[in-house]
């Protein structure tokens, strides 16, 4: 199967379009290496929510494509202390007085590699902390993050690698704010669509959308794992992956009228899923740590808080697989 890479301007920035006969993707390195488009070519359907104009994008950039979250979701009052170091991030969710979504999704990334051949397409981008000295007061560490996007047949593999290149260890958490058009075709009926999540616990949230440290009983766990019908309901919920039953860690979105099922898979380092929606789109968000993890008085194995030592790297794998149904 022939693969290709094309260059194009999008939102006044250089974009990389890549794909094959089945799917086509687009990333914009200058806009946080955001995967701003993913299409089913055979069905002529946009899977991800793509801005129609620069004005639309600027209103709420986090609600388009697949923003990279480091750290993911909210930090209470924008601050936490870990091993005698206090980290302070800008409060950018004023009504709840939180920091939200981290500091990688809104900065330019560099392109390191782009290759296309019969085996597929590989695009690699890089974020280097030393390129942004203004970040150091908030996160006083030297690190780099590489994103690798691989298109092969009906699948897009997305790999994140985080490297500690400084002299001190640091706490880390990562995730994606993945915004799917759902239904995949706007005119389709939401009640015909299906969503399933591989989860068995829901976290209780306070009025600031922060976990209290307690769980909510899930009497309908089996239903959530098979099928969620959510028409008319607003989601902004946090769940834990069902590791007990060895389930595949994947969110499954099905739109029968569009003839498409998306399997959004994450490796087992992504122990948490957020489900968020608004009219016309749905965000299943895989995270390695729970929202506000450093401020929760719970063991690290419960919150997902991890530490990256000097010279260490961590590799995180996700996949978006398109099936015709």
Within 92-230, residue ranges assigned H as helices are: 221-226
Q: Which residue spans within 143-229 are E strands per DSSP?
A: 143-152, 155-164, 170-172, 175-176, 180-181, 194-196, 199-205, 211-216
Nearest residue to 295 via CA among 69, 86, 104, 141:
86
Q: Tokens 């307690």 correspond to what residue?
A: 214
Nearest residue to 282 via CA among 171, 190, 172:
190
User: How big is the chain by its Cα radius of gyration, in Å?
Assistant: 19
d(CA 66, CA 225): 23
Nearest residue to 83 via CA among 169, 172, 164, 174:
169
Burial string for 47-57 (b: 16+ CB within 10 Å, else e) reads bbbbbeeeeeb
**Is 177 marked active-site?**
yes
**Is 285 marked active-site?**
yes
Nearest residue to 88 via CA among 164, 139, 143:
139
- Cis link prior to 71 (omega < 30° from 0)? yes
> Which residue in 101, 105, 177, 241 is the catalytic one?
177
CB 291, CB 202: distance < 8 Å: no
> Which residue in 285, 307, 312, 324 is the catalytic one?
285
Which helix (H) or strand (E) segment holds residue 54: the answer is: helix 54-59
Nearest residue to 151 via CA among 185, 194, 122, 174:
122
Catalytic residues: 177, 285
């Amino acid at each position: 199967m022939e693969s290709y890479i094309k260059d194009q301007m999008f939102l006044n920035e250089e974009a990389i379009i890549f794909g094959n006969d089945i799917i086509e993707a687009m990333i914009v390195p200058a806009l946080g290496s955001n995967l701003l488009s993913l299409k089913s070519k055979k069905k002529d359907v946009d899977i991800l929510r793509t801005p129609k104009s620069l004005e639309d994008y600027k209103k709420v950039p986090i609600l388009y494509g697949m923003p990279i979250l480091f750290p993911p979701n909210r930090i209470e009052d924008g601050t936490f202390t870990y091993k005698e170091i206090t980290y302070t991030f800008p409060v950018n969710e004023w009504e709840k007085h939180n920091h939200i979504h981290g500091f990688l999704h809104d900065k330019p990334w560099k392109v390191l590699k782009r290759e296309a051949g019969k085996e597929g397409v590989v695009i690699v981008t890089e974020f280097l902390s030393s390129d942004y000295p203004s970040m150091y007061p908030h996160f006083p560490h030297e690190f780099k993050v590489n994103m690798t996007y691989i298109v092969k047949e009906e699948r897009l593999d997305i790999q994140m690698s985080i490297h500690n290149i400084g002299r001190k260890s640091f706490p880390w958490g990562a995730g994606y704010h993945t915004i799917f058009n759902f239904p995949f075709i706007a005119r389709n009926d939401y009640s015909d669509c299906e969503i399933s999540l591989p989860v068995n616990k829901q976290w209780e949230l306070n009025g600031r959308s922060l976990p209290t440290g307690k769980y909510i009983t899930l009497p309908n766990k089996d239903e959530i794992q098979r099928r969620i019908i959510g028409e008319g309901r607003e989601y902004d919920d946090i769940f834990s992956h069902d590791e007990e039953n060895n389930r595949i860690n994947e969110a499954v979105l099905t739109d029968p009228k569009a003839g498409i099922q998306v399997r959004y898979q994450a490796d087992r380092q992504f122990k948490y899923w957020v489900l968020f929606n608004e009219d016309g789109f749905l965000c299943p968000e895989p995270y390695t740590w729970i929202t506000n993890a450093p401020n929760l008085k719970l063991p690290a194995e419960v919150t997902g808080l991890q530490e990256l030592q000097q010279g260490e790297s961590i590799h995180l794998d996700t996949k978006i697989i398109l099936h015709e149904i």
